[in-house]
Structure 1
Amino acid sequence: MVRLALVWQALHYAVPIFWLYALLFADSGLSVAEISALFAIWSSAGIVVEVPSGALADRWSRRGSVVASGFVIAAGFAVWTVLPTFAGFTAGFVLWGVGASLASGALEALLYDGLAEHGATESYPRVNGALNAIAQLAQIPAGLAAGALYELGGYVLVGWVSVGCCLVSSIPALFLPEPRPAPDPTADAEGEPGWWSTMVDGVRESVRTRAVGVAVLAVAVLGGVDAIEEYFPLVASDAGTPTAFVPLALLVVPVAGALGSAAGGRVRGWTGVVLLVGSAAALGAVALTTHPAGLVGVTLFWGLYQAVRVCVESRLQDRIRGRARATVTSVASFGTEFSGIALFGAWALGGAGLVAALVLVCAPLLRPRAGPEDPESVAEHAESHEP
């Protein structure tokens, strides 16, 4: 299961248009404000469907949701390629938001419950770190391909190859085993909870169980920091890098992210706070220069941040106790979309410096707290599910 998930992750992120779509928007005549608006629309689409799609995965099929994700995202990139206007980019982002929501929560739930079935949940942080590392490393061949494809056929060729990559990514997902959690006492007459009941149960666990709620908040707030990756090509361009060479200039960024992700499965206690503070300092340095050396700050920030991200995501999975695991994870992703919109606005208003300040404010969320094994946390969880 883990190997199939790693293959899916690699194919899912080896998409060349990831490296160039911010520049595609700019070269199509969009202003920075319009580009930021598109990113906000992208997040808004995720907000609308995030939690319902998590409940759909729990109630219907987590594997099916992951498979469908590739097809929907491919449709979004096809719209971009055929209709490179603000309206076309908007429609593409809506499709991308829906497609991403289908996989969000579903894959994590598949993996965690699969490991639980074999009594190996303690290895989930390392698996999660490996998944995030693969996602980062897959961007390297995609970046190399992006520059070559752009030179050969411009944004059109980059777009169609990206559509094909998304479709191919669904193939390994078809073979993912799908373990199911133990029967729930809230199940309906047919032995399974309905879609609505599943969604309500997941939301309830997210807000009424303190240990889970804190972890959900940490993932929601810190996960939104991912949004500023969309501006990295613009940072490189502002530093004087030609469009065709932007992917090459940024290749070191995913390498740093992969190293940080791999280390994130071992981050414990106050180490996460230290790493987040360091990442904020590195990002703040980017705001002080438009020299190519500013990319060093971006690289350092990304590696430290990814380590923190893996840490908080793994902590959330460890604390979930109900059967609506994909729904709870989607609740966290729902919050991530809101914080992502806030980050887009912060970048539009104050660039890297303001975003670095907001990242620093998030540090208290990483304070060590009681884990799910703590008696108080378990007791609170039990009370939250009493009739």
Structure 2
Amino acid sequence: MNVKNNVRLLYACRFFQSLIPAYVIERLFWEQRGMTIPMVVYTELIFAVTVMLLEVPTGIAADRLGRRRLLILSALMGCFEFVILVYASQFWHFAAVVVIAGIARSAASGAENALLYDTLLQHGQEARFERHLGRMQAIDLTAAVLAALCGSLLASRFELELNYWISACAAGIALCVTLLLAEPRSAVSGEAAEPAAVGWGLAWTVPLRFFRKNPGVRSVVLCGIVAGAAMSYIYEFWQLYLERLNIEIAYFGLVSAVLMLIQLPGSIFAHRLKGRIRYRTLLTGIIAVFAAGFLYAAWAKDITGLAAMMLVCFVSGLLEPLTAGYLHHRIDSSLRATADSFQSLGENAVLMLSGLGFGYMSSRYDIFGGYGWMAAVCGAWLIYMIAAGGRKIED
């Protein structure tokens, strides 16, 4: 297997892993199989707990056993997920599916970025990491839009199960592509002895020491965590916002496509901005747009509020390439996947904690109150970034 092909193979993996027409009719299919709203909420909690428990252990495993193995595990779990769903009819079937999905998510988190960076590092092209990561994110979004548009069309003409069989096929192709990946030499050569010198049970303390000794990296990663958690509330609840604005369901597919496509420019051109604008300025500006966008969406309660949400989505495209690039350029290969997994773990933790306030405010002031709460969360982080958090961020 040729390491030079890894980048193109990772592009293909992202495409087929996102080409999932099942997602556009997921809630309808689950309801058809007897899943009530409380049952769905229970499965979401099971998924969150699974991810939080496995996020760091799988990152450690990726650094010690190889990133390719974890990516293969993730792709294999993705295949099982959709095949089981086709035949699912009881709550425990769906509970098993979300556990499998949590394993897949945790196994890929950290391992994918680590394999990409070390592939580029092996060929002296690590400076292009943000460019390739942005392209992967653009491919991800493009495939998701195609899947949503085609999935809704298929669901209107055929049985919903067809979307799941097609999704299983796409997951199978992604697995086949993953098997072609090669492990970069830098990922298995043991460049740093520190992680190997401690047992598996203490391995998680090594990246914690790294973050403690590097406040600039810590601030950038925390910025990505807060903004990533905030974006989840747009992904999960934009439908309710549109419904409150009395926008017809016929336009929901178009809005979904726009919310994803509008992130493409930031993903593609993030690598160019980092060389022209200071990291601190970029990240502070992104968080400022987040805070202002959520605040306006909560206050306006009209179509201009939707425009503010789209502005938040537009700048969010910059986040993953910038934050992941800043981290990977400054960390050793032997810690790469573990440290990346810490960011994902933190995002899930912030998502659950902020969800308490979001749920309370939404129960009192509807979805607009929930978005007002997220504006306060982003605003608090903006104040911290301006006052102290951004001072240690290097360019």
Normalised to the residue count of structure 2, the TM-score between the two structures is 0.81
Deviation, structure 1 residue 240: 5.0
Q: Label 1:144 to 1:335 Cα distance change in 2 as closer, same or farther (>3 A).
A: same
Q: Is the 8 A contact 1:257 1:302 kept in 2?
A: yes
5+ residue gaps, structure 2: 1-5, 363-369
1:175-254 equivalences under 5 Å are 175-181=180-186, 182-184=189-191, 186=193, 195-196=200-201, 198-228=203-233, 229-240=235-246, 246-254=252-260
- The structural deviation recorded for 1:186 is 3.1
Residue equivalent to 1:94: 99
Q: Does 1:129 align with 2:134?
A: yes
Q: Is the 8 A contact 1:63 1:106 kept in 2?
A: yes
Q: 1:39 maps to what in 2?
A: 44
Equivalent residue for 1:300, pick from 284, 307, 311: 311
Asked if the contact 1:36/1:345 (under 8 Å) is kept, the reply is: no
Distance 1:281 1:212, change over 3 A: closer
Question: Structure 1 87/235 Cα, relative in aligned 2: closer, same or farther at 3 Å?
Answer: farther
Structure 1 residues 236 and 146: CA distance shift in structure 2, 3 A: farther
2:3 aligns with none
Question: How much has 1:51 moved relative to structure 2?
Answer: 0.5
Task: Assess, with a 3 A threshold, how the Cα gap between structure 1 residues 12 and 261 changes in structure 2: closer, same or farther.
Answer: same
How many residues are matched? 370
Give the Å deviation of 1:141.
0.6
1:340 alignment partner in structure 2: 351
Deviates more, 1:50-59 or 1:320-329: 320-329
Q: What's the counterpart of residue 2 of structure 1?
A: 7
> Residue type of the partner of 1:313?
A
Partner of 1:103: 108
1:353 alignment partner, one of 358, 368, 372: 372
Q: What per-residue deviation string (whole Å, max 9, x for no partner) do you get for residues 204-262 of structure 1?
A: 43444434433443333333234221333444455556667633331111111112222
Where structure 1 has 5 or more consecutive residues not aligned to the other structure, the ranges are 374-387
Q: What residue number does 1:383 align with? A: none
- The residue number in structure 1 matching 2:262 is 256
Query: Cα 1:330–1:47, aligned 2, differ >3 Å: closer, same or farther?
Result: same
Paired residues of 2:224 and 2:319 also in contact (CA < 8 A) = no
- Give the match's secondary structure for 2:334: coil
Q: Secondary structure at the match of 2:318?
A: helix
Percent identity between the two aligned chains = 23
Q: Does 1:316 align with 2:353?
A: no
Are the counterparts in 2 of residues 206 and 216 from structure 1 also a CA contact under 8 Å? no
Secondary structure of residue in 1 paired with 2:56: helix
Structure 1 residues 64-73 or 364-373, which shifts more?
364-373
For 1:230 and 1:262, how far apart are their aligned partners in 2? 24
Q: Is the 8 A contact 1:261 1:303 kept in 2?
A: no
For 2:36, the aligned partner's letter is L
- Is the 8 Å Cα contact of residues 147 and 248 (structure 1) preserved in structure 2? no
Q: TM-score, with normalisation over the residues of structure 1?
A: 0.83
- Structure 1 residues 219 and 281: alpha-carbon distance in aligned structure 2, compared to 1, 3 A threshold: closer
Q: 1:238 to 1:166 in 2, by over 3 A?
A: farther
Cα distance, 1:365 vs structure 2: 4.3
Cα 1:125–1:225 change in 2 (3 A) is same
- After superposition, the C-alpha distances for 1:248-285 in whole angstroms (9 at most, x for unaligned) are 33111111111222233324331221222223322333
Give the superposed CA RMSD: 3.1
Distance 1:207 1:270, change over 3 A: same
* 1:160 aligned residue: 165
Query: For structure 1, which segment, 345-354 or 231-240, has the greater mean C-alpha deviation from structure 2 after superposition?
Result: 231-240
Once residues 287 and 360 of structure 1 are traced to their aligned partners in structure 2, the CA distance between those partners, rounded to angstroms, is 14
Contact 1:236/1:250, CA 8 A, preserved across alignment? no
Alpha-carbon separation, structure 1, partners of 2:287 and 2:121: 30
